[in-house]
Copies of this chain bind each other. A is one copy, B any other.
């Protein structure tokens, strides 16, 4: 990865916060507003300047290009011409070729001459949160990001200074040493800040204009100013490092509906205490990050793939929110720019990553869906039939820190046929897929046993949504929830794509995923000793497979995206559902299914045929298009389907649909429309414009690419 200008999130685990940087805002004639900096619970990255760089012998500063166009706010005080430019500009921002960058799984590193900036966002495998020692929990959920600035001046004959800081136009920055003698740094009120420990040659600097000294006190500060930095002298002939902690804090109850504070608030009530803790454990965090980096480095993935994985994981971590409720952890992943909470069609995709790192989070989320965010509905058919439905699950658990009431999502409203309609059937399928995958991957038989009745209800609900009359069933969802109202119909997670993926009923993508759910149910029932149910589940999977096969165009070998209305869109997510049995190593079951229906082989043929320019490869960019009839394509789902293809249908990846597609996908994320937003999901396939799902966690489906042993977490 030689590309330099993109924002990566550097996020503590579970703090719904990120110190985001990397986008070269200084290079752009029309810079994006979301330059980066400290962002807590934000829709998009923050809008601050980040100052990091070095100078030699008191000359001009060389700064990484993270500096916004600056205006000296002193004109607000002095009555001078508004927006007056800063008086001094004794710095330059580094250009292409002046520095290098390397993104690791849990780090980001910029090097320019003798200067290096590293930011660490470590995380660790947590098999059981509640089982951890308290000190360990504190270490893992402290809302702190670790960083280090350093310079190697061993070959130099002049002193070097290195600098790290930020500018927050809305706020004066307080000097931490004023209240904590052991901290050298700055903070914005009680919310966020950065600090180092005192060391020789370290000084503070702040003001309306960081690069001027005509208006500062004897310490180098002006507390009214909104730019602040630490400066460390690195004498000629020496090497020095500035170890930094970057911290966030939000006090009190942060959510409603379920009223909960952050889990970290058990340990931290003051920002200064977070900073001190972060500095005391700086080495622990750096070591933890190094472990993660080494694992990705050793994965055997291509460099492009490593970057795609790392970039996705960085953004995902910024969306995680670990709350405390009823004496236990309460897990939330926030949905990027939409900030919906534990959106189920994201949970099912985060599943594979989360099982590797924090499987209890999957379990707890499934329990909360089962206990609070499930409902029992009635259903109707296209031609006016009415019946009891069964259990289903909501799309999400709320939005913007509000947990919605039991059985209600923030997203779904009735009487629609597209965006914002209900996803009852898909979320039912998702609960089954997540539940069985969790129980199998974690080996949690006791939990599976506790869900025996619910699994049976899910199976029954799936059957009824196929058709209430057993004789009419074909294994595929055919009825709609009455929650949609008389004028509405169910949709899928692909709400914003065209009809090829939008409706739930008679949908190829959901059909194969439903089939997968039946295979998983068969596994679960077998584990529970319910052999008869297991056999029936396998049969239902085969029934679904046969149904889907019946819609295959024999001439072309292709499947239509929807088994209604003469649809002939071609879609890649035909294979998406296979990810679950694949993940669980159910090769025998897939082989058996293929023998009975021919579906698996046929899907391989389909995939190979659609992965062509002008069908499901974008004509211009060469990137994967989920649907032949929509230029809105979703990277997280591409990653998932790439994994299925690589594992089951390698032949489909001959030529440009294979490794070179990774390059195209990187190109989207680095496009001028997108590169400042962290990972984005909904992409315009021609040019990388982000249609939606900006600043989004779902890209961790790429974790599936990791070699089997590693994929399960360190």
- Give chain A's interface residues, CB within 8 Å of chain B: 43, 74, 76-79, 170-172, 174, 178-179, 187-190, 214-218, 222-224, 251-257, 259, 269-270, 337-340, 398-402, 404-405, 408, 410-411, 413-416, 418-420, 495-497, 632, 682, 691-692, 694
Are B401's CB and A78's CB within 8 A?
A: no
Give Cα A269–Cα B261 distance, bound, in whole angstroms.
13
- Least distance between A224 CB and chain B CB atoms (Å): 5
Are A413's CB and B189's CB within 8 A?
A: no
The 4 closest A-B pairs by CB, nearest first: A251-B252, A79-B691, A79-B496, A223-B410
Most buried by B among A78, A255, A414, A496: A78
Can you list 9 pairs linking A and B with CB atoms under 8 Å apart?
A77-B338, A77-B419, A78-B495, A172-B339, A172-B410, A217-B414, A223-B399, A223-B402, A223-B410
Chain B residues within 8 Å of A691, by CB: 79
Closest partner residue, chain B, to A252 (CB atom): B251
Chain B residues within 8 Å of A178, by CB: 257, 404-405, 408
Chain B residues within 8 Å of A223, by CB: 398-399, 402, 404, 410
Apart from A77-B495, A172-B339, A223-B410, list 11 A-B contacts with CB within 8 A.
A76-B338, A78-B495, A79-B497, A79-B692, A174-B402, A217-B414, A223-B399, A223-B402, A224-B399, A251-B253, A252-B252
Chain B residues within 8 Å of A495, by CB: 77-78
Of the candidates B43, B218, B420, B682, the one whose C-beta lies within 8 Å of that of A170 is B43
Give Cα A256–Cα B74 distance, bound, in whole angstroms.
24
Closest partner residue, chain B, to A498 (CB atom): B79
Q: A76-B692, A189-B401, A402-B174 are in contact. Are A270 and B257 (CB under 8 A)?
A: no
Give Cα A607–Cα B552 distance, bound, in whole angstroms.
96
Closest partner residue, chain B, to A251 (CB atom): B252
Q: A178-B405, A405-B178 are in contact. Are A74 and B419 (CB under 8 A)?
A: yes
Of the candidates B188, B405, B413, the one whose C-beta lies within 8 Å of that of A216 is B413
Closest partner residue, chain B, to A208 (CB atom): B420
- Least distance between A53 CB and chain B CB atoms (Å): 25
Are A79's CB and B632's CB within 8 A?
A: yes
Are A190's CB and B253's CB within 8 A?
A: yes
Q: Is the interface of A mostly helix, strand, loop or mixed?
A: loop
Chain B residues within 8 Å of A496, by CB: 77-79
Chain B residues within 8 Å of A79, by CB: 496-497, 632, 682, 691-692
Chain B residues within 8 Å of A74, by CB: 419-420
Closest partner residue, chain B, to A415 (CB atom): B214
Are B410's CB and A224's CB within 8 A?
A: yes
Chain B residues within 8 Å of A218, by CB: 414
- Least distance between A565 CB and chain B CB atoms (Å): 21
Most buried by B among A224, A253, A269: A224
Of the candidates B77, B255, B419, B682, the one whose C-beta lies within 8 Å of that of A420 is B77
Are A253's CB and B224's CB within 8 A?
A: no
Q: A76-B338, A170-B43, A257-B178 are in contact. Are A215 and B399 (CB under 8 A)?
A: no
Are B78's CB and A418's CB within 8 A?
A: yes
Of the candidates B215, B252, B410, B692, the one whose C-beta lies within 8 Å of that of A413 is B215
Of the candidates B179, B402, B416, the one whose C-beta lies within 8 Å of that of A215 is B416
Are B338's CB and A257's CB within 8 A?
A: no
Give Cα A222–Cα B338 distance, bound, in whole angstroms.
14
Give Cα A214–Cα B488 distance, bound, in whole angstroms.
11
- Least distance between A351 CB and chain B CB atoms (Å): 23
Chain B residues within 8 Å of A172, by CB: 339, 399-400, 402, 410
Most buried by B among A178, A187, A251, A415: A178
Give Cα A270–Cα B339 distance, bound, in whole angstroms.
22
Give Cα A632–Cα B419 distance, bound, in whole angstroms.
54
- Least distance between A175 CB and chain B CB atoms (Å): 9
Give Cα A98–Cα B404 distance, bound, in whole angstroms.
40
Give Cα A451–Cα B497 distance, bound, in whole angstroms.
75
- Least distance between A194 CB and chain B CB atoms (Å): 15
- Least distance between A389 CB and chain B CB atoms (Å): 18
Chain B residues within 8 Å of A632, by CB: 79
Most buried by B among A43, A413, A682: A413
Are A420's CB and B340's CB within 8 A?
A: no
